[in-house]
Amino acid sequence: MKHFLNTQDWSRPDLDALLAQAAVFKREKLSGAMKGRAIALVFFNPSMRTRTSFEIGAFQLGGHAVVLQPGKDAWPIEFDLGTVMDGEAEEHIAEVARVLARYVDLIGVRAFPKFVDWAQDREDKVLRAFARYSTVPVINMETITHPCQELAHALALQEHFGTTDLRGKKFVLTWTYHPKPLNTAVANSALTIATRMGMDVTLLCPTPDYVLDERYLGWAQANVAESGGSFAISHDIESAYRGADVVYAKSWGALPYFGNWGPEKPIRDQYRHFIVDEAKMALTNDGVFSHCLPLRRNVKATDAVMDSPRCIAIHEAENRLHVQKAVMTALLR
Amino acid sequence: MKHFLNTQDWSRPDLDALLAQAAVFKREKLSGAMKGRAIALVFFNPSMRTRTSFEIGAFQLGGHAVVLQPGKDAWPIEFDLGTVMDGEAEEHIAEVARVLARYVDLIGVRAFPKFVDWAQDREDKVLRAFARYSTVPVINMETITHPCQELAHALALQEHFGTTDLRGKKFVLTWTYHPKPLNTAVANSALTIATRMGMDVTLLCPTPDYVLDERYLGWAQANVAESGGSFAISHDIESAYRGADVVYAKSWGALPYFGNWGPEKPIRDQYRHFIVDEAKMALTNDGVFSHCLPLRRNVKATDAVMDSPRCIAIHEAENRLHVQKAVMTALLR
Amino acid sequence: MKHFLNTQDWSRPDLDALLAQAAVFKREKLSGAMKGRAIALVFFNPSMRTRTSFEIGAFQLGGHAVVLQPGKDAWPIEFDLGTVMDGEAEEHIAEVARVLARYVDLIGVRAFPKFVDWAQDREDKVLRAFARYSTVPVINMETITHPCQELAHALALQEHFGTTDLRGKKFVLTWTYHPKPLNTAVANSALTIATRMGMDVTLLCPTPDYVLDERYLGWAQANVAESGGSFAISHDIESAYRGADVVYAKSWGALPYFGNWGPEKPIRDQYRHFIVDEAKMALTNDGVFSHCLPLRRNVKATDAVMDSPRCIAIHEAENRLHVQKAVMTALLR
C-alpha cells in the first residue's frame, strides 16, 4: 500500500503524473473520483488552508472529509509501544489508526514537532505510527516535511514559467526572521522539491547553525546527482539573490538550539534584515517570490513584495486544492 | 460584485425577491442551486443557529460549508494595513481572504465587536476587510448588524400576517435586561428592517443612553422617508406596548459606557422590569413576540411569553435556513 | 415519535431488525436512505469514533451531519425548567431542541454525567430534555448508557459466532482498573444487551461497591426472565473467567463514592490486577475479548490481549458505523 509521506518516496514519473492530474483538476473542478469515499483529517495543530483545501477537495470529488482534533475534541493519543498508559493519553495509536481505517478510505495527518528534542522529532513518530497501523493510505498534511506544499509550489512554478521542465532555473530558499523558532518542515520540503525538479538551488541562511538537518541535505545531494541541477549553501544575501528566478522564503529555528530556544533568540534577532524586500528582489532575474503562508507581513516579507505581481503565494496556496485532489485520487486507485 | 453586508445596501425589490425565494425554499427544500459550490463560514465568535442553518442550507442546495474558527482551530489574523506583524497574528486578512476565495464561492463572516472602543467597533473592520480582499461574495453572519436575522424576522411576520405588505403594523423594538452588556447588532438590524418594511416603529429603551448609534437612527429615518411608516423613540413601557402588533426584544449595553462597563452595570440593573411578560403583552393588539435567540428565560422574557402561541421566535429561527439559502443562491448567480 | 434512547425501550424484533439492517449496510455501504436529510450531532464531551462513524454514516446514506459542541463553539445551555437564567447559560434546551429540530431530521446527543451527584446524573436529564422538546427523533450517543455501542457489540458477537442466536454463551462483563473514576454507561449497556440477547451473564467486579446502579440490575433481571439466560454477580476472577465465551471489559468508579472520589482512589488502586491479561484469557473457552474503546493499554488490558486475534474490539468499533446507519434509517421512516 502506497502512502504520501514524502515526495522523496515517490518516483519522478509518479510525481509528474500527480502534477499533470492537478493541472487537469484546476481546469475541471468536479469529478466523481471519490464518490462515496471519505478521508479523515487528523489535526494535532491548527490549520486554515490545509483543512479548507482538503475538505473542499474531497467534496468536489464526490467524497467527504471528517476533521478530527485529538486532545481537543477527540481523545489524546499514545504513540509509544509497550507503554503502561497511566498518564494523559486515553488511547493508543494502534487502535486509533485501525479504527479510523475501518471508517474512511484515506487518513491525513498534521503533527508538528514538539520542539523539545530534535532527535525525537526528526523520527516523525506520529505520522509513521499512523502509516504503520492504518490499513488505508496516509497523507502527510505537514509534520517535519510538507509534501503537499511542495507539489503546490512546483505546479505554481510550472504555470509561471509555462513549462513542466524547471531545469536551469536559479532557486533561492532564503531563511527569514520570525519572532518564534518555527518548524523546518517547509524549508526541508522546498529544498527537496527544488532539487528534485533539477533547479540550481541555493540555501541562504544567516550562519551554519541555520543549515537544515543532514537528512534533507542528503536528499538534496542525491536529487542533484540524479537530475543534473546544483545545490549550494550560502550566508551572503547579495550573491544568493543575484540572478535568481525564484525566491522562496521560510523562517525556522536553528537546530543546534532545538528545545533550548532561549539562547537562540538574541542570535536570531540579529538577522531581521533577511526580510524579503524590494531591494533584494531587485537583484533577481525578474524573479518570482513565494511562501507557504501563513506569513507575517513586514517581518518575513514587506507589503510591497507581497502585493507585487511577482508574488505567486496566492496561486501556490490555491494549488494546494488541486494537488491534494490529485494525491487523494492517486492513492484511492 | 455584490456582497450581503447589510440589507440597507440592497434595493427593496432585491430584498423582496430574497424573501420570495426563501418562501419557495421553505416549501421545496432540496435544489441543485449550489451544486459543487462551497461556502467558508468564518466564526470569530460562537454560534449554534447560524452555523447549523448555513451548513444545512448549503447541503440542501447541493453545496458544502467549511467551518473555520480563526485563533481557535485556524491561525489568528491581522486586519490593519502596514503593520509590522510581530505580535500574535500569524497572517494578514489580505492573504486569508484571497486564499479562501480561491477555494470557495462564498465567504460568511461572524465577528462581534471587541467591546473596548465603539468608535473602532462601529467601523465593522473585520467584515469590511473580508469584503475588500475577497474575490467572491461575502455574507454578514452577524457583526454590528445581523441582516440574515432581519430577513428571517421579516419572513416570519409576512407568514404570521398572511401578507408580504407589513405597512401599518405597529412594531415595538424593546430593550430587555441581560446580566452582560450585549452587542447592539440585532437591535440595529431590527430597527433597520422594521422601518424598511414601512411599519410604525417604536424603539423602547430605559433612558436616552440606551438609544442606538446614530448611523442606524439615520437609516431608520431615511427608510421612513421612503416607505411612509413612522419612527419614534420612547422610554415609557405602557404607551409603547399599547396596541402593538409586533414586540421584538433585545438586550444591549448603553453606548456611552462602551468599554467602560463597570459604571453601566448598576444603571442597567435598575431596568430588570423591562422583561417581556404577560402583563405587557396584554397591552398589545394581540401582538406577536419574537427574539433572535439565544434568549435567557425569565430574564429577557418570561416562560409564559416564550411558551405562548404568540411567540414566533422558533419560526423566525427556522427561517434563517430559508432566507440564507436565498441569499447564497442570489449571490452565486 | 420513536427515539433511540435505550435498547430497553425497543422490542426485541425491532432490535433484531436493526442488527439485520446493519449487516446489510456492512455489505453495501452506499444508499440514498438519508438523501437530503440531516442529523445534528450534539457533543457535550469529546469523541472520535462516535463522531466519525455518525458523520461518515450520514454521508454514505446521502445525508449530512452537523457537529455541535455547546459551551465550546456553541452557546452553553440551561436544562432546568422555570429557572431565572442569570448564570452562565445563554439559552434554554426548549429553544435549542425546537430550533435544531426545524433544521435537521435527527438529533444525536452525547452528554456524560457531571460526576458530582449520581442521584442527579442517573436522571439522564440532558438526553431526556432533548427528547422532550425535539420534534424529530433523538439518538443517544452515550450518556449514562451507550445503546449504539450495544448494537455494535451484539453484531460483532453474531459475526464471530456465525449466528444471530447468542443464547447459551457465557458472557463476562469485567471491571478493569483506570486511574480515573469513569462513567458506568458502557457497563450498564453491556449488562443490558448481554441479558437481552439471552446469554449467561456474569458481572465481575472487585467488591459490592462496584456493582452497577439498581436500574440496570433490574433491566438485567427482567431480560433474563424474558429471554431464559442467567445473570450473576461475582467478585472472584478465576471462577468468572472460567469457560467464558466472551470477556467484555470496562472501568468505572464505585457509585457509593460518586462525586466524592478522593476516598475511592486508594480502594480502586488495590484492584489493578483486574487487568485483562493472557493468564485470565487462558481460563476461558477460547473466548473473545472486547472493549468499547478508548482503552489504555497495559492498564485495562495488556498489549498481548489487544493484539491477539481473539480481540474483536476493532470489529466492534467498525460496527458502530453500520448499526448507527441502521438506527438513523429506522428513525427516519
pLDDT in tens, chain A (333 residues): 999 999 999 999 999 999 999 999 999 999 999 999 999 999 998 888 999 999 999 999 999 999 998 877 667 899 998 999 999 899 999 999 999 999 999 999 999 999 999 999 999 999 999 999 999 999 999 999 999 999 999 999 999 999 999 999 999 999 999 999 999 999 999 999 999 999 999 999 999 999 999 999 999 999 999 999 999 999 999 999 999 999 999 999 999 999 999 999 999 999 999 999 999 999 999 999 999 999 999 999 999 999 999 999 999 999 999 999 999 999 998
- Neighbouring chains of A at 3+ CB pairs within 8 Å? B, C
Instruction: Identify the CATH homologous superfamily for domain C148-316.
Output: Aspartate/ornithine carbamoyltransferase (3.40.50.1370)
Given a cut of 80, whether residue B72 has pLDDT beyond it is: no
Task: Provide the pLDDT for residue B73.
Answer: 63
How many whole angstroms separate alpha carbon B82 and alpha carbon B107?
24
Does A292 carry a binding-site annotation?
A: yes
Q: Which residues on adjacent β-strands are paired with residue A230?
A: A200
Residues in chain A: 333
Phi first, then psi: give them for residue C167, nearest 5 degrees.
Answer: -60, 145
Does A47 carry a binding-site annotation?
A: yes
- Tell me whether C283 touches chain B (CB under 8 Å): no
Does B103 contact A72 at a Cβ distance shorter than 8 Å?
Answer: no
- For cell 439471552, name the residue: C198
Query: Mean pLDDT throughout B15-41?
Result: 98
C-beta of residue B191 within 8 angstroms of C-beta of residue B220: yes
Chain C residue with minimum CA distance to B182: C90
CB pairs under 8 A between A and C: 93
Query: Mean pLDDT throughout C122-133?
Result: 97
Task: Provide the pLDDT for residue C73.
Answer: 63
pLDDT per residue over C139-157, tens digit each? 999 999 999 999 999 999 9
Distance from CA of C201 to the nearest CA of B (A): 43
Cβ contacts of residue C175 below 8 Å, gap of 6+?
Answer: C187, C204, C205, C206, C210, C249, C250, C251, C252, C271, C274
CA atoms lying within 13 Å on the CB side of residue B272: 13
Q: What is the CATH number of domain A149-316?
A: 3.40.50.1370
How many whole angstroms separate alpha carbon C275 and alpha carbon B98?
55
Q: What's the one-letter identity of residue A241?
A: Y
Per-residue pLDDT band for B188 (boundaries 50, 70, 90) equals: very high
Chain A residue with minimum CA distance to B69: A48
Of A66, A78, A84, the CB nearest to C52: A66
Does B99 contact A317 at a Cβ distance shorter than 8 Å?
Answer: yes
Tell me the helices (H) and strands (E) count for chain B, helix number first: 13, 11
Per-residue pLDDT band for B153 (boundaries 50, 70, 90) equals: very high
More confident residue, A218 or B115: A218
Does B50 carry a binding-site annotation?
A: yes
Given a cut of 80, whether residue C325 has pLDDT beyond it is: yes
Cβ contacts of residue B232 below 8 Å, gap of 6+?
Answer: B201, B202, B203
Per-residue pLDDT band for C122 (boundaries 50, 70, 90) equals: very high
How many whole angstroms separate alpha carbon A71 and alpha carbon C47?
10
Chain A partners within 8 Å of B91 (Cβ): 48, 293-296
- For cell 467551518, name the residue: B67
How many whole angstroms separate alpha carbon C328 and alpha carbon C39?
9
Of C60, C297, C318, the CB nearest to A85: C297
Task: Provide the pLDDT for residue B75.
Answer: 73
Q: Which residues on adjacent β-strands are paired with residue C139?
A: C4, C108
Nearest to A327 by CA among A122, A11, A21: A21
Chain C partners within 8 Å of B179 (Cβ): 86
A149-316: same fold as A7-145+320-332? yes
How many whole angstroms separate alpha carbon C272 and alpha carbon C176?
7
- Tell me whether B295 touches chain C (CB under 8 Å): yes
Chain A partners within 8 Å of B102 (Cβ): 314, 317-318, 321
Task: Provide the pLDDT for residue C82.
Answer: 92
CB pairs under 8 A between A and B: 93
pLDDT per residue over C301-320, tens digit each? 999 999 999 999 999 999 99
How many whole angstroms separate alpha carbon A197 and alpha carbon A227?
7
Does B102 contact A318 at a Cβ distance shorter than 8 Å?
Answer: yes
How many whole angstroms separate alpha carbon C288 and alpha carbon C291?
10
Angle of CA points C70, B117, B272, to nearest 5°: 60
Cell of A167: 531545469
Task: Provide the pLDDT for residue A132.
Answer: 97
Given a cut of 80, whether residue C74 has pLDDT beyond it is: no
Which ipTM was obtained for this model? Answer: 0.96
How many whole angstroms separate alpha carbon C331 and alpha carbon B6?
40
Q: Which CATH number fits domain A7-145+320-332: 3.40.50.1370, 3.30.750.24, 2.102.10.10, 2.10.240.10?
A: 3.40.50.1370
Does A104 contact C52 at a Cβ distance shorter than 8 Å?
Answer: yes
Phi first, then psi: give them for residue B202, nearest 5 degrees.
Answer: -115, 125
Per-residue pLDDT band for B26 (boundaries 50, 70, 90) equals: very high
Nearest to B291 by CA among B168, B201, B222, B190: B190
Does B47 contact C85 at a Cβ distance shorter than 8 Å?
Answer: no
Binding residues of C for N(2)-acetyl-L-ornithine: 142, 250, 293
Does B306 contact C94 at a Cβ distance shorter than 8 Å?
Answer: yes
- Tell me whether A74 touches chain B (CB under 8 Å): no
Cell of B90: 500569524
- 3-state percent helix, strand, coil for chain B, nearest multiple of 5: 45, 15, 40
Per-residue pLDDT band for C193 (boundaries 50, 70, 90) equals: very high
Does A98 carry a binding-site annotation?
A: no
Cell of B255: 453606548
Angle of CA points C22, C26, C28, to nearest 5°: 110
- For cell 475479548, name the residue: C289
Q: How many CB atoms lie within 10 A of CB B262?
A: 7
Cell of C172: 463476562
Task: Provide the pLDDT for residue A74.
Answer: 66
Task: Provide the pLDDT for residue A312.
Answer: 98
- DSSP annotation string for A278-325: HHHHHTSSS-EEE--S---BTTTB-HHHHTSTTB-HHHHHHHHHHHHH
How many whole angstroms separate alpha carbon A31 and alpha carbon A60?
6
Does A314 contact B74 at a Cβ distance shorter than 8 Å?
Answer: no
Largest Cα span, chain B = 59
C-beta of residue B136 within 8 angstroms of C-beta of residue B104: yes
- The residue extents of the domains of chain C are 7-145+320-332, 148-316
Q: Considering chain C, what is the average pLDDT of its residues?
A: 96
Look at strands C200-204 and C230-234 and give their pairing: parallel
Does B55 contact C75 at a Cβ distance shorter than 8 Å?
Answer: no
Chain A residue with minimum CA distance to C293: A91
Q: Give the ranges where A66-198 is alpha helix by DSSP (H).
A: 93-103, 118-121, 125-133, 147-161, 185-196
Task: Provide the pLDDT for residue C75.
Answer: 73
Does A40 contact C30 at a Cβ distance shorter than 8 Å?
Answer: no
- DSSP annotation string for C57-83: HHHHTT-EEEEE-BTTTB--EE-SSS-
Chain B residue with minimum CA distance to C69: B48
C-beta of residue A291 within 8 angstroms of C-beta of residue A47: no
Does A317 contact B84 at a Cβ distance shorter than 8 Å?
Answer: no
Give A132-136's long-range contacts (Cβ < 8 A, gap of 24+).
Answer: A132/A97, A133/A93, A133/A94, A133/A96, A133/A97, A133/A98, A133/A101, A134/A97, A134/A98, A134/A100, A134/A101, A134/A107, A135/A1, A135/A98, A135/A101, A135/A102, A136/A1, A136/A101, A136/A104, A136/A105, A136/A106, A136/A107
- Tell me whether A52 touches chain B (CB under 8 Å): yes
| Lowest mean per-residue pLDDT among B8-17, B41-50, C7-16 | B41-50
DSSP code, position A105: S
Does A85 contact C303 at a Cβ distance shorter than 8 Å?
Answer: no
Does B149 carry a binding-site annotation?
A: yes
Best A25, A31, A47, A48 member to test B by mutation, with max B CBs in 10 Å, is: A48
Q: What's the one-letter identity of residue A212?
A: L
C-beta of residue B92 within 8 angstroms of C-beta of residue A297: yes
Cβ contacts of residue A47 below 8 Å, gap of 6+?
Answer: A110, A141, B73, B74
How many whole angstroms separate alpha carbon C180 and alpha carbon B52?
34
A138-140: strand order across its sheet: A64-68, A38-43, A106-110, A138-140
Cell of A51: 483543512
Best C28, C34, C52 member to test A by mutation, with max A CBs in 10 Å, is: C52
* Beta strand segments in B18-150, E: 38-43, 64-68, 77-78, 91-92, 106-110, 138-140
- Tell me whether A30 touches chain B (CB under 8 Å): yes
Given a cut of 80, whether residue B71 has pLDDT beyond it is: no
- Tell me whether B55 touches chain C (CB under 8 Å): yes
How many whole angstroms separate alpha carbon C54 and alpha carbon B62?
20
How many whole angstroms separate alpha carbon A176 and alpha carbon A251?
5
pLDDT per residue over C269-278, tens digit each? 999 999 999 9
Does B46 contact C84 at a Cβ distance shorter than 8 Å?
Answer: no
